[in-house]
Amino acid sequence: MKGWIKLYRELLDKPIWHESTPEQKTILITLLMMVNHKGKEWEWKGEIYKCEPGQIVTSLPKIVEKCGKGVTIQNVRTALKRFESFGFLTDESTNRNRLITIVKWGVYQGEDEEETGELTGNQQATNRQLTANKNVRSKECNKKNNSRKQVYDKTSIHFQLAKFFYQKILENNPEHKEPNFQRWADDIRKMMEIDKRTEDQIKYLMTWVQEDSFEMANVLSPSKLRKRFDQLVIKVKAQKKKVVPIKQGRYIPKDSDYDMTAGEDWR
């Protein structure tokens, strides 16, 4: 259990991190530190057992103990199921314990070399070396992990907006085929992270297109919404600027208290 694990900064951009609760983040890091760095064999009741790198035989109470204050068995049980859905780990349980395997342990934490050194009293500070057991892995592993499709939790805002849009479509066409919500959620994530659209703006347009007699048949997916987003915003603004007649032939702008100026929140 000596040495370090490597923790990549890109984890901050992954759904498994930024959509996790504080307890789940603690459990994730704790599991990375608990699993074996090297293969391990032991004998129990005459049988030989073996754990590969990235695996550990443990139990829910043991994980809770290692996580420390604030983490419960239910937290761990929920986190394991969630992490398994992301393809981060596998969890094989028995009546006595469970075998947890970090799926891509070898990609990120594989051992390439061990650096050792001795600290001597007369050495210059720049030449000092501490005994280290570094888990090193080649840079090409980043590319492999980035190619994996993201899996969106049903509680994530991206998945929830996908479900919201589908419900709006069903109001006009109850027979509309159920979509691939993971694909829809990914398109919504792109709108928010890449195009910098806000949750409220996306939700507003989803509602608007399904209330518009023309667009309700043309915008039936988040990908189409994303592609035509700017055009639809212009159409919304133009509709808001239309005038309506009032008594004595005078006119006032429709929804005149609505600020649709460029660069401001147009919802």
Could you read off the pLDDT of 179-216 as tens digits, one per residue?
999 999 999 999 999 999 999 999 999 999 999 989 99
State how far the Cα of 258 lies from the Cα of 240, in Å rounded to an integer.
8
State how far the Cα of 165 lies from the Cα of 149, in Å rounded to an integer.
22
As a whole number, mean pLDDT of residues 4-9 equals 85
Query: Are residues 112 and 184 located together in one domain of the fold?
Result: no
Which range, of 3-7, 74-78, 197-201, 245-249, averages the lowest pLDDT? 245-249
Structure tokens that stand for 5 in this block: 């694990």
Question: By C-alpha distance, which of 116, 214, 226 is closest to 172?
Answer: 214
Residue 3 lies in a domain: no
Query: Are residues 125 and 195 located together in one domain of the fold?
Result: no
pLDDT at residue 240 in the model:
80
Residue carrying the six token digits 């109470």: 61
Query: Are residues 141 and 208 located together in one domain of the fold?
Result: no
Residue 51's φ and ψ, nearest 5 degrees, are -120, 130
Question: By C-alpha distance, which of 122, 193, 187 is closest to 161?
Answer: 187
As a whole number, mean pLDDT of residues 124-150 equals 43
Which range, of 27-31, 137-141, 152-156, 247-251, averages the lowest pLDDT? 137-141
Residue 17 lies in a domain: yes
Structure tokens that stand for 44 in this block: 């129990």
Residue 88's φ and ψ, nearest 5 degrees, are -80, -35
- What lies within 8 Å, CB to CB, of 242 at 6+ separation is 253, 254
Structure tokens that stand for 233 in this block: 């915003």
Q: What percent of the chain has pLDDT over 70?
A: 70
The range of the structural domain enclosing residue 176 comes to 157-253
Query: Are residues 193 and 73 located together in one domain of the fold?
Result: no
> Which range, 13-17, 158-162, 258-262, has the best average confidence (pLDDT)?
158-162
> Which range, 47-56, 77-86, 151-160, has the best average confidence (pLDDT)?
77-86
Strands 243-245 and 98-102: unpaired
| Cβ–Cβ under 8 Å, residues 152 and 187 | no
State how far the Cα of 243 lies from the Cα of 253, in Å rounded to an integer.
4
Which range, of 34-38, 60-64, 189-193, 195-199, averages the lowest pLDDT? 34-38
Question: Where on the phi/psi map is residue 120: left (φ > 0), alpha (ψ -120 to 50), or beta?
Answer: beta
Residue 66 lies in a domain: yes
Residue 19 lies in a domain: yes
30-32-37-39 Cα dihedral, nearest 10 degrees? 90
Helix axis angle for 181-193 and 199-209, nearest 10°, is: 130
Question: Where on the phi/psi map is residue 80: left (φ > 0), alpha (ψ -120 to 50), or beta?
Answer: alpha
pLDDT at residue 181 in the model:
92
Query: Are residues 127 and 181 located together in one domain of the fold?
Result: no
Residue 94 lies in a domain: yes
| Cβ–Cβ under 8 Å, residues 90 and 101 | yes
State which of 127, 146, 165 marks the end of a domain.
146
Residue carrying the six token digits 């609760």: 21
| Cβ–Cβ under 8 Å, residues 135 and 5 | yes
Q: How many domains does the chain have?
A: 2
Handedness of CA 103, 85, 188, 156 (dihedral sign): negative
State how far the Cα of 44 lies from the Cα of 48, in Å rounded to an integer.
7
Query: Are residues 101 and 170 located together in one domain of the fold?
Result: no
In the Cβ-directed half-sphere of 25, how many Cα atoms lie within 13 Å? 11
What is the pLDDT confidence band of residue 95, given thresholds at 50, 70 and 90?
Answer: low
